[in-house]
């Protein structure tokens, strides 16, 4: 009989990193910028990167929580039911190991992030890195009028933080372009699990790509997106602020991630740490759809989780679906 373990974030957040790494968790789901507003285009295939393999295998990264929001580990493959295109599927791949992640960190350095906003965000990011898997790799992308890759595929968290000390906020915001570049990079990462961490007020006024294009790209990819909206009172009540929040909410939920809007410094630190813990508290499952046709249509996916007898209801979160095309996976 499987032994379930519950990971309480509220109890963990005050522990030292050494204790955090001992928790049994579920795993597997600078100042110099060119003034040219043209965003960074998608990068060509890296000849030294991973080899693409065509496959119809659909992979899902899932987060399971109990009624108190605690992460739940110890579930078996049989606890999950996958419904794809209204048909129950056979799960052929299952993992709950604490595996590292390829993480794209998208840091807003536009003029709207000036003052205390960027200082608080930098401080909280250090909490995220300290809580993450020691073998995680990072892609650091800063963006104002254009998106720029500052660090490519590094496992040195301190180098990420050090790079950001050179950045000063200015100019407009090309958030959509930064998301596009972030997906392009992390899908070339070394790890099968991939995520984006967006740190921004969500407002875009300088991108070449539009909302629809970015949303479709995220729906096509298996990249879980987490957003931390750095907003003050004026931002949340303005029309541009509400639009920014709507964008962050949408791109996070469609990928199985989540958007957060901290109101205090303490809350911001806890949210960054919570995201790092969630990445380490996930299941990864895979299946080959029974009636797969590469017609390019959207296929809705629903995952249900059945708790062991005697336990209360559990909640599961993952991406909402995918487009039916033989997308390349990276191995």
Half-sphere exposure of 51 (CA within 13 A, CB side): 1
**173: nearest Cα among 122, 110, 130, 118:** 110
Please report the DSSP string for 182-240 in residue order.
HHHHHTTSSSSEEEEEEEE----SS-SS-HHHHHHHHHHS--EEEEEE---HHHHHSHH
pLDDT one-digit tens code per residue, 290-302: 989 899 999 999 9
**Distance between CA atoms of 273 and 168, rounded to whole angstroms?**
24
**286: nearest Cα among 99, 28, 3:** 28
CB–CB of 138/130 below 8 Å? no
The DSSP letter of residue 327 is: P
Give a three-class secondary structure readout of 26-56. Answer: CCCCCCCCCCCCCCCCCCCCCCCCCCEEECC
Between these two residues, 27 and 11, which has the higher pLDDT value? 11
Q: What is the pLDDT of residue 142?
A: 97
CB–CB of 35/171 below 8 Å? yes
pLDDT one-digit tens code per residue, 218-255: 999 999 999 999 887 666 566 767 888 999 999 999 99
CB–CB of 261/199 below 8 Å? no
Residue 231: count other Cβ atoms within 10 Å of its Cβ: 24
Pairing of strands 224-229, 258-260: parallel
pLDDT one-digit tens code per residue, 52-92: 434 589 999 999 999 999 999 999 999 999 999 999 999 99
Between these two residues, 239 and 44, which has the higher pLDDT value? 239
Residue 142: count other Cβ atoms within 10 Å of its Cβ: 26
Strand partners, 101: 193
pLDDT one-digit tens code per residue, 178-201: 999 999 999 999 999 999 999 998
Give Rg (Cα) of the chain. Answer: 19
Does residue 102 register a pLDDT over 70? yes
Backbone phi, psi, residue 49, to 5°: -85, -175
**Distance between CA atoms of 229 and 124, rounded to whole angstroms?**
12
Give a three-class secondary structure readout of 145-192. Answer: CCEEEEEEEECCHHHHHHHHCCCCCCCCCCHHHHHHHHHHHHCCCCCC
Place 1 in a pLDDT band, splitting at 50, 70 and 90: low
Half-sphere exposure of 193 (CA within 13 A, CB side): 27
**Distance between CA atoms of 170 and 215, rounded to whole angstroms?**
26
Residue 288: which H helix or E strand, with range? none
Q: What is the pLDDT of residue 247?
A: 92
Distance of CA 156 to the CA centre of its chain: 19
* % of the chain residues with pLDDT over 90: 67
The CATH number covering residue 116 comes to 3.40.50.410
**Distance between CA atoms of 205 and 172, rounded to whole angstroms?**
6
What is the arithmetic mean of pLDDT over 165-185? 94
pTM recorded for the entire structure: 0.82
Does residue 9 register a pLDDT over 60? no
Q: Which two tokens stand for residue 230?
A: 């750095």
State how many domains the chain has: 1
Identify the residue whose tokens are 């987490």: 226
Q: What range defines the domain where residue 153 resides?
A: 1-331
The DSSP letter of residue 111 is: G
- Mean per-residue pLDDT of the chain: 84
Q: What is the pLDDT of residue 268?
A: 93
CB–CB of 112/234 below 8 Å? no
């Amino acid at each position: 009989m499987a032994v379930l373990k519950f990971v309480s974030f509220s109890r963990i957040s005050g522990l030292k990193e050494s204790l955090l790494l001992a928790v049994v968790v579920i795993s597997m789901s600078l100042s110099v910028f060119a003034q040219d507003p043209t965003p960074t285009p998608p990068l060509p295939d890296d000849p030294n990167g991973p080899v693409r393999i065509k496959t119809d295998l659909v992979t899902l990264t899932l987060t399971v929580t109990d009624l108190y929001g605690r992460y739940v580990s110890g579930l078996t493959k049989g606890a999950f039911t996958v419904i794809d295109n209204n048909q129950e599927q056979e799960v052929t791949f299952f993992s709950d190991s604490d595996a590292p992640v390829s993480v794209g960190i998208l840091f807003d350095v536009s003029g709207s992030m000036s003052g205390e906003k960027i200082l608080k965000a930098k401080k909280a990011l250090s909490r995220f890195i300290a809580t993450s898997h020691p073998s995680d790799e990072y892609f650091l992308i800063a963006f104002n009028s254009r998106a720029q890759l500052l660090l490519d595929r590094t496992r040195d968290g301190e180098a990420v933080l050090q790079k950001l000390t050179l950045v000063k906020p200015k100019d407009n915001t090309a958030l959509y372009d930064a998301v596009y570049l972030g997906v392009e990079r992390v899908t070339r990462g070394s790890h099968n699990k991939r995520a984006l961490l967006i740190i921004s007020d969500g407002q875009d006024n300088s991108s070449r790509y539009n909302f629809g294009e970015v949303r479709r790209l995220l729906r096509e990819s298996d990249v879980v997106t987490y957003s931390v909206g750095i907003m003050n009172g004026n931002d949340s009540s303005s029309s541009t602020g509400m639009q920014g929040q709507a964008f962050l909410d949408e791109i996070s939920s469609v990928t199985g991630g989540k958007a957060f809007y901290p109101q205090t410094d303490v809350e911001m630190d806890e949210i960054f740490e919570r995201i790092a813990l969630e990445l380490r508290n996930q299941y990864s499952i895979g299946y080959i759809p029974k009636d797969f046709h590469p017609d390019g249509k959207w296929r809705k996916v629903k995952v249900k989780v059945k708790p062991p007898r005697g336990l209360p209801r559990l909640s599961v979160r993952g991406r909402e679906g995918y487009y039916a095309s033989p997308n390349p996976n990276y191995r």
